[in-house]
Structures are given as structure tokens and as C-alpha cells.
Amino acid sequence: MQFVEPLIGAIAAFALGAAWYTVIFGKAWQAETGITDEEAQQNVARTHGLAFVMMVILSYSINMIIGYHDVSEQTLVHGAFHGALAGLFYGAPVVAINYLYQRKSLKLYLIDATYIVLLMAVSGGVMAALKL
């Protein structure tokens, strides 16, 4: 199940991203990036496919962290905690560094960095819950 869990974690993160970047912050994100509706529809399969692969990699790394704990400790909350910490201490700073040099807005940073933290928390929580 070691590779199945990251796949399931990535699917959960991808579903969150679908809601985050369409229903919740879709228009705000587009306004901040300057991406038009037409541009957003270009190369969708490649963009989503590669993004999913990256989510699998992130999920795999979170699963390794979770795996350092006894299986009895691996709960949804525990996994979400470790995922959120990884997002806060690794994901969000990396996004910040890139956005500082690219002169991106604070609003865009908050949309994207918060998603990174949440995607890692959701992935970690789902994967840990699968171990029970």
C-alpha cells in the first residue's frame, strides 16, 4: 500500500485544488495572474497531469514523514498535522521565494501558499487515515 496511499492522497489534494481554483478563488486567482479564460483552457491535460504527478511526489514525501510514527498514531488528524507542517515550513516558503523574485502580489501568494498548506494537510490526513 506504500504507493497506493500517495496516489489516494494526491487524488484528495487534486479534488481540493479543483474547488480552490474554480469555485473558491478561481476569479481572484485569474485576476492576480492575468490568465484569461482562453489561456486557462490551453494544454489543460498536460498542466493537470503534471500537477497531479507533483502532488503524488508531495504525498509520497508526507507519507514518509507519517511513516516514522507507529501505525496506532497514524490518524487523520495526525497525518493532517504533519502535512500542514510540511506545507508551512517547506511549501509556503518556496512559493514566497519565487513570488518575491517574480514580484507577485501578496494576494496571489496567500491564495497559492494557503492551498499548498491545505493540499499537504489533506493528503497527509487521508493517507494516515488509510493506515488504520
pLDDT tens per residue across span 46-99: 999 999 999 999 999 999 999 999 999 999 999 999 999 999 999 999 999 999
Please report the pLDDT score of residue 2 as a whole number.
75
Residue keyed to cell 511513516 = 67
Please report the pLDDT score of residue 91 as a whole number.
97
Q: Is the pLDDT of residue 1 over 70?
A: no
What's the rounded mean pLDDT across residues 22-42? 96
Cell of 21: 481554483
Q: Which domain holds residue 69?
A: 4-130
CB 12 within 8 A of CB 122: yes
Give CA angle at 21 (87, 18), nearest 5°. Answer: 85
Please report the pLDDT score of residue 122 as a whole number.
98
State how far the alpha carbon of 132 is from the alpha carbons of 6, 56, 60, 66, 79, in Å.
15, 21, 18, 13, 12
Q: Is the pLDDT of residue 132 over 80?
A: no
Number of domains in the chain: 1
Spatial distance between the Cα atoms of 5 and 19, rounded to a whole number of angstroms: 22
Spatial distance between the Cα atoms of 35 and 41, rounded to a whole number of angstroms: 10
What's the rounded mean pLDDT across residues 14-33? 97
CB 95 within 8 A of CB 69: no
Residues 6+ apart with CB under 8 A from 25: 111
